[in-house]
Chains A and B, each alone.
Chain A
Amino acid sequence: MPAARVLPTPEAADLIRLVREFATEELAPRAAEAEATGTFPREVFRQLGQLGLLGLPYPESEGGGGQPYEVYLQVLEELASVWASVAVGTSVHALSCFGLATRGTDEQRQRWLPDLLGGELLGAYCLSEPHAGSDPAAMTTRAVRDGDDYVITGAKAWTTHGGEADYYKVLARTSDDRGGISCFLVPADAEGLTADPPEHKMGLMGSTTATMRFDHVRVPAERRLGDEGEGLKIALAGLDAGRLGIAACATGLAQGALDRAVAYAEEREAFGRKIIEHEGLAFVLADMEAAVQSARAITLHAARLKDQGLPYSREASIAKLVATDNAMRVTTDAVQVLGGYGYTKDFPVERYMREAKVMQIFEGTNQIQRLVISRSLRKPAGAITVQK
């Protein structure tokens, strides 16, 4: 049973209805096969763009949907409950637009943002490197100024949509200072830019992940976002929002697993009764529901803080931590509820379990989230604020 939701406006409620209809009719029939064969569904992102689902949190004046995070995250959740790879891709795409939308000049925004938010162009985000993941300031990819251009050399690991995207938001070192990092928008067809073969991942096979190699890639200076040396600030500013995106994906994934488990437990009989009527199993399902609702509650709480313009960094980390850990537990329990069938590839729950694992790792490992949370505890207590 899909989650009960309270939305702030009638149009947001209609938006959720639209997403449910689209997910049921267009995503659900394709998910299992695409995941089994590792096929990236490029066309789906074009459809999402046409429906206006790729630019929801961006201003209407830029071609976005002007929706608060509270609504956008519930859309991501609905997508993830049917096909996690597509929800993660949507979140990554939104994140790849973040630097352009917030730090791009008027000219840069007018030139690229409409096609990005409209789904004609697909974005990717190059931050991590083979030896610099949790500590991005340790990156070694360089952008050297040469006349009106920069020349970028290095490798970027774990790039979602790597090799499929139309442009890459790239963080590269422009000086030797630890923070001497700048942000660039690099088109996919730039000479010297290549993608390694996709990673053989444990899950999210419908979402391509590849290392991107920059071999003296020449990028005009007009494609730099923000000032030189401002890159890390731009990257970090988007992180909290990205974490909320993944928290929503994890919550949706867990909801999908729970729905499958409940449906199975309503059907399967043992000892003359439906297995949901056996307390041992019913309590497992109850814990799963409690875990999904807790994840949703903290995620939407963080989203509402963000929508109010209040600090939400700690809450974003808590949401990412709680939602992804809960998703791991809920999907593992869903396999348990389906028993032997759950362990086979004939049912989707084993896939959900594999998909949950990476959510504890990417967009800041859950150990990094704990670091953020624990550090925040040493700062002054939160203020009492009245809602806008």
Chain B
Amino acid sequence: MRAAEIITAVVILVVGIAMAVDSWTLGSGWGRAGPEAGFFPFWLGVLLSISASALIVQAALTRSVKGPFLSREQLVRVAKVGCPAVGALILIHWVGLYISTALYLAVYMKWVGRHSWRLVLAVSAGTPLLTFVVFEIWFTTQMPKGPLEVWLGY
């Protein structure tokens, strides 16, 4: 837990320094028409670096927080949700939103929930269909599409 605290604070520190440096190169002083573009973000970066440094010191000095950031069991549970979700996002680029969400729902329900095939099929086919009706027909919003929708003429 302490390591996680320190790593997070270090990452924030790096972000803070990057903000300050980026704004510094942009000009963070007083321009012809008032404060320059980098003025506000520069000071944000400086303050963020200060708070992150203080957080690092605080985390290093605290001894009371014990235990790992994530137990193995918890990691597995989180990964079971996180990995398929990221996978579904990658798939959207190839096959579009509808097929991707159908596959994602089916995989998750079968693999994690161990539901019956009938239920899996109903939910994973029904959700994209409902989405299609709501977005493409009611709101006429285009969702990302893949080869199948093109083949169907959309």
Q: Do the two chains belong together in a single complex?
A: no
Binding site for A on B (CB under 8 A): none
